[in-house]
Structure 1
Amino acid sequence: MTHASDAVPTPDPRERRFAALRRCDRLLSGVRPQNLRERLAALATDAETAYDLDQRPDIYGDGVVRALEQRVAELLGKPDAAFFPTGTMAQQAALQCWAERSGSRTVAMHPLAHPEVHERKAYSRLSGLHAVWPTTAPRIPTAEELRDSGEQFGTLMLELPLREAGFILPSWEELVAATTALDGTHVHLDGARLWESVYHLGHSLPEIAELADSVYVSFYKTLGGISGAALAGPEDFVRDAKSWRHRYGGQLFQQWPAALSALAGLDRELPRLESYVGHAKVVATALAEAVADTPGARVNPEPPHTHQFQLWLPHPAEALNEANVRLAEEQGLGLFGPWGGRDLPGLSMTEVTVASAALDWTPKEITEAMTAFLTYL
């Protein structure tokens, strides 16, 4: 007789995937997962060249945190910057500051923007702001749409790239037109992934940031940091943003691990991003060819605008996740991150991130690995 206590426990899907990808010989999307010991060792190694480790730890934002803020301000060509423990908090502070200056509690943003999709409507629940959508098309609004939105707003927030639409970026001309469409409107850039956007836009970080009054950037999405973000803009804006950071509970006693990992990420990843963006086009083309005969399958956008893009397949997410883990466990090939269901019936989507581990994959190897992946379905 079998007792309940004798049953083999079902492994946690996240733990199973973590273990499988760590043991993979090759990864196509993302970076190899690290356990805590490996992450600590990597931080200690990278930080040796990122900052003087003989200095004392930061206290409420001085020291290494202040060095990081100054580095970001210089990279973006802004007078100053403030470190935030989360991007969600940074966005709230930015929108609050511009609402106070403009006298308007209305913000124009996209319905797929991060505050709408991933922040539980914090701008409304915590800040009392109201959002308008100049467009629902999967792109930034045009100058005409902004001028004809039918409702006045004091702040325009643009997400570059627009992740939920497929990491979509405008052309430089479209971005200039949108940011200069309305006089007296403050422009805030959600630039969580701005670092890798310069290649599609064809302009430098300071040139892009100059189009906006404030810019938010992330330290973990592309740079591989532990956590954290920065908000850059005029000195008086940054001073006020720091006051809102304190009010929101972001005035942490010490944040040196996150700041060190951010500095290390800037040193390590910024020089590599152009190669990631270039190879993403190779990867996307190979994947598109591998699924060309599968109804409904597609790469979005094709070609990618950054080193990230979406892959859609006509299979349930559960089956795709199982195939992904089995391919990693049995053949040592880690192709994708998690799959999920979205708004298109019968299709599931994964986000492909081309980083250093993917650079040595040839189109033939990608096609062969994709063929092997599909056999598990």
Structure 2
Amino acid sequence: MTADEETGEAEQARGGTGAGGTGAGGSGAGDAEAERARRLAAWTAARRKLSDGPVDGTLAGRLARLAEEGAEVYDLDGSPDIYGDGIVARLEERTAAVLGHEAAAFFPTGTMAQQVALRCWAGRTGNPVVALHPVAHPERHERGALGRLSGLGTVHPTTEARPPTAEEVRELEEPFGTLMLELPLRDAGFVLPTWDELVAVAEAARERDAVVHFDGARLWECTTHFGRTLPEIAALADSVYVSFYKSLGGLSGAALAGPADFVAEARAWRHRYGGQVFQQWPAALSALVGLERELPRLPRYTAHATMVAAALREGLAEAGTPWFRIHPAEPHTHQFQVWLPYGADGLTEAGVRQAEEDGTVLFRVWDAPGAPGPPGTAVTEVTVGAPGLRWGPQDVRDALYGFLARVPERGAAGGV
């Protein structure tokens, strides 16, 4: 997927058309929109799902839920924020405390937060080069913004589908001012290094006189894999970006945490980038709800994802699927990839039909992986959330068999 295309996550959110098509039977923009609406309606109405989608439900229902849950974490009789005071300031204080950093600043988007962070570090280090993975978010999903807007350059410690090693960081041929680590590395399969590897990589960057920035959009869900608290993890970095709608279920928004003087500078650049929004209280309120309700549950989701992945592996083998991949084999977080040897559009359609006919959502949008993925395959991302905690191994296998029975290519070959 190029930087000019929608991310797979956005496609999932809006019920997109998988591998760039217009959906089953669709031939134009109107057909594609109708197909997206159909999918969203099916996923929202489904009684059984592994997780709630980011846009499942109606506006009225989501507003009512925010009012109910928000009253448990903040005084709703207070005034809305104005340019980041009030509830937004409260969220910033809470985020800094949760991460163990001196200060934090709220941003309307993670893209803006990271561009500001990397720009600030370039000015402070005197080096405009950022070392990061070639599938990291700024490289793949931001339309070349680092170079176009801030004049920053990038180098890649590795092209392997995993985080870089300490040795790779030490052996980079040219100097860099910032090492950016995406934790977990989403496009490679939500993969993480071990704790010792992460410590070594951070030390290697500092041996090169570079600072360390964590793209922690999903950092919240990393504690189980590392066996460390969020402050212990965040302490390895000079600055950390976190998202409030990924993992925590907020409406939108992000935060940049780090030293107080760094965050103060980031606030100035936030204003210059157009991020000084007049009122952001709905996003801030939903973020506080996420920190209070979802954050403590994430270790349970991660543990349950291990069971779901194992049940899928067993079910696919029992069904005689000619080739499949669960990646990572044991999930590092509550999200992982599933690969199958069928067309993306047919797999997406099979999942929608299962939601419509059985009220079950196992998989949502599938995509053609592109290079270096095997030709003729498709990949999807599985997220295990609160609804998925009610699923046992047999529930997963039963849902899988129902899904496979609806895959057109499999049906032509004899079904399950």
Task: Please give the TM-score of this superposition, normalised by the length of structure 2.
Answer: 0.87
Aligned mate of 2:171, from 144, 148, 152 = 148
> Using the alignment, how far apart are the partners of 1:154 and 1:131 within structure 2?
10
> Using the alignment, how far apart are the partners of 1:131 and 1:360 within structure 2?
44
> Using the alignment, how far apart are the partners of 1:44 and 1:244 within structure 2?
32
1:113 — aligned with what? Answer: 136
Q: Tell me if 1:191 matches 2:213.
A: no
Q: Tell me if 1:259 matches 2:284.
A: yes
Q: Tell me if 1:221 matches 2:246.
A: yes
1:269-348 equivalent positions in 2, closer than 5 A: 269-292=294-317, 293-343=320-370, 344=373, 345-348=375-378
> Using the alignment, how far apart are the partners of 2:239 and 2:173 within structure 1?
25
Q: Percent identity?
A: 60
1:6 — aligned with what? Answer: none
Aligned mate of 1:356, from 386, 390, 393 = 386
Per the TM alignment, residue 334 of structure 1 is displaced from its structure 2 partner at its CA by 0.9
Query: Letter of the aligned partner of 1:56 in structure 2?
Result: S
> Using the alignment, how far apart are the partners of 1:12 and 1:178 within structure 2?
47
1:206 — aligned with what? Answer: 231
* Residue range with higher mean Cα deviation, 118-127 or 274-283: 118-127
Query: Letter of the aligned partner of 1:286 in structure 2?
Result: A
* Residue range with higher mean Cα deviation, 24-33 or 66-75: 24-33
Aligned mate of 1:369, from 399, 402, 405 = 399
Query: Letter of the aligned partner of 2:343 in structure 1?
Result: P
> Using the alignment, how far apart are the partners of 1:253 and 1:30 within structure 2?
30
Per the TM alignment, residue 52 of structure 1 is displaced from its structure 2 partner at its CA by 1.1
> Using the alignment, how far apart are the partners of 1:225 and 1:51 within structure 2?
15
Per the TM alignment, residue 28 of structure 1 is displaced from its structure 2 partner at its CA by 2.2
1:26 — aligned with what? Answer: 48
> Using the alignment, how far apart are the partners of 2:45 and 2:305 within structure 1?
23
> Using the alignment, how far apart are the partners of 1:125 and 1:45 within structure 2?
43
Q: CA RMSD in A?
A: 1.1
The 8 Å contact of residues 106 and 255 in structure 2, kept in 1 or not, is answered as: yes
SS in 1 for 2:71: helix
SS in 1 for 2:72: helix
Query: Letter of the aligned partner of 1:268 in structure 2?
Result: R
SS in 2 for 1:269: helix
Per the TM alignment, residue 256 of structure 1 is displaced from its structure 2 partner at its CA by 0.5
Query: Letter of the aligned partner of 1:17 in structure 2?
Result: R
Per the TM alignment, residue 221 of structure 1 is displaced from its structure 2 partner at its CA by 0.8
Per the TM alignment, residue 186 of structure 1 is displaced from its structure 2 partner at its CA by 0.7
> Using the alignment, how far apart are the partners of 2:35 and 2:245 within structure 1?
23
Query: Letter of the aligned partner of 1:250 in structure 2?
Result: G
Q: Tell me if 1:231 matches 2:261.
A: no
SS in 2 for 1:359: helix
> Using the alignment, how far apart are the partners of 2:80 and 2:401 within structure 1?
50
Task: Please give the TM-score of this superposition, normalised by the length of structure 1.
Answer: 0.96
Per the TM alignment, residue 226 of structure 1 is displaced from its structure 2 partner at its CA by 0.5
1:155-194 equivalent positions in 2, closer than 5 A: 155-181=178-204, 182-183=206-207, 184-194=209-219
The 8 Å contact of residues 83 and 231 in structure 1, kept in 2 or not, is answered as: yes
SS in 2 for 1:126: helix
The 8 Å contact of residues 30 and 352 in structure 1, kept in 2 or not, is answered as: no
For this pair of structures, how many residues does the alignment match? 369
The 8 Å contact of residues 352 and 364 in structure 2, kept in 1 or not, is answered as: no
Query: Letter of the aligned partner of 1:12 in structure 2?
Result: A
Aligned mate of 2:156, from 128, 133, 143 = 133
1:69 — aligned with what? Answer: 92
Per the TM alignment, residue 228 of structure 1 is displaced from its structure 2 partner at its CA by 0.1
SS in 2 for 1:303: coil
> Using the alignment, how far apart are the partners of 2:363 and 2:249 within structure 1?
18
Query: Letter of the aligned partner of 2:292 in structure 1?
Result: D
Residues 151-203 of structure 1 deviation map (CA, whole Å, 9 limit, x = unaligned): 10000000000000100010000000000113321100000000010110111
2:69 — aligned with what? Answer: 46
> Using the alignment, how far apart are the partners of 1:21 and 1:81 within structure 2?
35
Residues 233-292 of structure 1 deviation map (CA, whole Å, 9 limit, x = unaligned): 000100000111111100001100100000011111011111100000000001111112
SS in 2 for 1:156: strand
Residues 139-160 of structure 1 deviation map (CA, whole Å, 9 limit, x = unaligned): 2211111111101000000000
Per the TM alignment, residue 295 of structure 1 is displaced from its structure 2 partner at its CA by 2.6
Aligned mate of 1:59, from 67, 73, 82 = 82
Query: Letter of the aligned partner of 2:391 in structure 1?
Result: W
Residues 76-135 of structure 1 deviation map (CA, whole Å, 9 limit, x = unaligned): 000000000000000000000100000001000000101011111111111110000011
> Using the alignment, how far apart are the partners of 1:169 and 1:30 within structure 2?
24
Per the TM alignment, residue 336 of structure 1 is displaced from its structure 2 partner at its CA by 1.4
SS in 2 for 1:67: helix
1:14 — aligned with what? Answer: 36
1:5 — aligned with what? Answer: none
The 8 Å contact of residues 50 and 386 in structure 2, kept in 1 or not, is answered as: no
Query: Letter of the aligned partner of 2:141 in structure 1?
Result: H
> Using the alignment, how far apart are the partners of 1:142 and 1:250 within structure 2?
35
